[in-house]
């Protein structure tokens, strides 16, 4: 059986091609790793990357404070939007009929929601942005879970990175539902159709 023979030139050429392929594969892997690290860093820092100016672009920003939530958001020029809020009988899905609302300005800025007591000791849900703020009072009956609850479950838009949302349909921004106490002293997520908590959502005017 005849042996395959390679000249030194052929060997060097093959070695060069193999090195080129290997280098290209390694560079591709490095770029993929860097993109993933960049995406993870943007997520941790809450950096907003606007990719579609016809939609709501938002990303959650860590606050490390109880009962405070923050987003970096881009709001398109049309349609005009409200951010709506309710703290009365929060359903598992959907939105309550009775709610407060405040205008949501167009452009890119930070949107903050917080539940705090005012100077009179009354609970309020406040929505703040670059043009000002709006507050919704929370009745003593609806605020009971804020001082006597074993915990709560939270669903927040934008926690997994920038989200693109259709401004023409109602969009959930935040849903918090108080947990239920168990007889043994523990707690579990509420299974009732409605219950104490708070919900925020976007709705076009």
pLDDT per residue, tens digit, the chain (205 aa), is 555 565 777 777 777 788 888 777 767 766 666 555 555 555 454 578 889 999 999 999 989 899 999 999 999 998 999 999 999 999 999 998 888 888 999 999 999 999 999 999 999 999 999 888 888 899 999 999 998 888 899 999 999 888 999 999 999 999 999 988 777 767 777 788 899 999 999 999 8
Token pair listed for 184: 């043994």
Count Cα neighbours of 84 within 13 Å in the Cβ-side half-sphere. 17
Specify the residue for token string 């452009």: 107
CA-CA distance, 69 to 36, in Å (whole number)? 25
Instruction: Estimate to the nearest angstrom the gap between the alpha carbon of 95 and the chain centroid.
Output: 18
Segments of 130-196 assigned E as strands: 132-138, 152-156, 163-165, 171-178, 180-181, 187-188, 194-195
- Name the pTM for this structure: 0.76
172: which strand partners?
A: 201
């Amino acid at each position: 059986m005849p042996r395959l023979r390679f000249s030194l030139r052929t060997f060097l050429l093959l070695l060069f091609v193999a090195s080129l392929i290997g280098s290209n594969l390694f560079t591709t892997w490095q770029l993929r790793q860097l993109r993933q690290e960049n995406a993870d860093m943007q997520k941790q820092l809450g950096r907003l990357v606007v990719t579609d100016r016809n939609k709501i672009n938002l990303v959650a920003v860590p606050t490390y404070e109880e009962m405070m939530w923050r987003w970096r958001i881009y709001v398109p020029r049309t349609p005009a939007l409200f951010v709506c809020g309710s703290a009365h009988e929060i359903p598992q899905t959907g939105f309550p009929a009775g709610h407060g609302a405040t205008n949501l300005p167009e452009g890119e800025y930070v949107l903050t929601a917080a539940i705090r007591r005012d100077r009179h000791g009354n609970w309020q849900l406040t929505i703040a942005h670059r043009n000002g703020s709006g507050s919704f009072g929370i009745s003593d009956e609806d605020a009971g879970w804020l001082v006597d609850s074993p915990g709560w479950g939270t669903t927040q838009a934008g926690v997994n990175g920038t989200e693109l949302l259709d401004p023409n349909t109602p969009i959930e921004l935040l849903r918090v539902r108080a947990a239920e106490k168990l007889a043994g002293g523990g707690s579990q997520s509420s299974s009732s159709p409605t219950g104490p908590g708070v919900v925020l959502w976007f709705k076009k005017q």
